[in-house]
Amino acid sequence: MAARKRQPGRPAPRLRLIRSSVARRRGCSILSVVDTASSKPADIVLSMASGQTLTADVNPARQFLALPPKLLQELWRTAEAESCGLALEDFGPILASVGEKLNCGLALGTHPNDNQRAAFLRTLHLPDLALAHACALGREVAWERFLRLYRASLTRAAVAITGSATLGQELADSVYAELFGLRTRDGQRASPLASYTGRGSLMGWLRATLAQRSVDHHRRTHRETALEDFDAPAPAPAEACEATDRLTEALRRTFRSLSAEDRYLLSAYFLDRQTLLQIARILGVHEATISRRLKRLLADLRKRLLGNLQSGGLSKRAAEEALGADPRDIEINLRALLQSSQTGPFSDQAAGAAAASESL
Partner 1 sequence: MSEVLQSGLHPDADELCAFVEHALPAGERERTLAHLSVCPECRAVVALSLPPVDEAARPSREPARGRWFSGWNLVWSTAVALSATILFTVYVYRAATISGAPAQVASSRPAPRAAAPAGPSGSRESSSANLQPISPSGQNSQERATAATPRSAASAQRQQSMEANAFMGQNLAVSAPPSAMEREALNSDNMLKTNDKATEAKKTASTAAFGVAGMEVLSETQAQTSLPPGSLPSDRKIVLGAANAPMAKAAAPLRAALPPPAAPGTGNETVALAGAAAPVIVSQEAAAAPAMAEEPALQPQRPEGRLPSRLPVVSMAAHERLALAIDTHNAVFVSNDAGKHWKAIRAPWTGRAVTAALISTANARAPASWTMQTRTAGGLFSGETPPAGNANGSLSGMVTDATGAVIPGASVVVVHSTSRAARAVKTDSGGRFVVSGLAPGAYDVRAAAPGFRPAQLAGVTVAAAAESVANLSLSIAASTQTVTVTTAPPAEPMDSLSATAKPSAQALPGGEIPVLFEITTDSGEHWTSGDGLKWTRK
The site for partner 1 (CB under 8 A) is made up of: 14-17, 105-108, 160-161, 192, 195-197, 199-201, 203-205, 207-212, 214-216, 219-220, 260-261, 263-264, 266-268, 271-272, 274, 277-278, 281-282, 284, 338-343, 345-347, 349-350, 353-354, 357
* Least distance between partner 1 and beta carbon 324 (Å): 27
Whichever of 64 and 196 has its CB closer to partner 1, that residue is 196
Contacts within 8 Å (CB) and 24+ apart, 280-289: none
* Least distance between partner 1 and beta carbon 1 (Å): 25
Whichever of 27 and 163 has its CB closer to partner 1, that residue is 163
Pairing of strands 184-185, 188-189: antiparallel
* Least distance between partner 1 and beta carbon 29 (Å): 13
For every residue of 48-82, DSSP letters joined together read: ETTS-EEEEE--HHHHT----HHHHHHHHHHTTGG
Whichever of 160 and 325 has its CB closer to partner 1, that residue is 160
Enter the DSSP assignment of 84: G
Query: What are the residues whose beta carbons fall under 8 Å from the beta carbon of 350, sequence distance 6 or more?
Result: 17
* Least distance between partner 1 and beta carbon 154 (Å): 13
Query: What are the residues whose beta carbons fall under 8 Å from the beta carbon of 133, sequence distance 6 or more?
Result: 39, 86, 94, 193, 194, 196
Residue 343 Cα to chain centre, angstroms: 15
* Least distance between partner 1 and beta carbon 124 (Å): 9
Whichever of 260 and 325 has its CB closer to partner 1, that residue is 260
Burial of 289 (0-12, 13-18, 19+ CB in 10 A): middle
Whichever of 200 and 307 has its CB closer to partner 1, that residue is 200
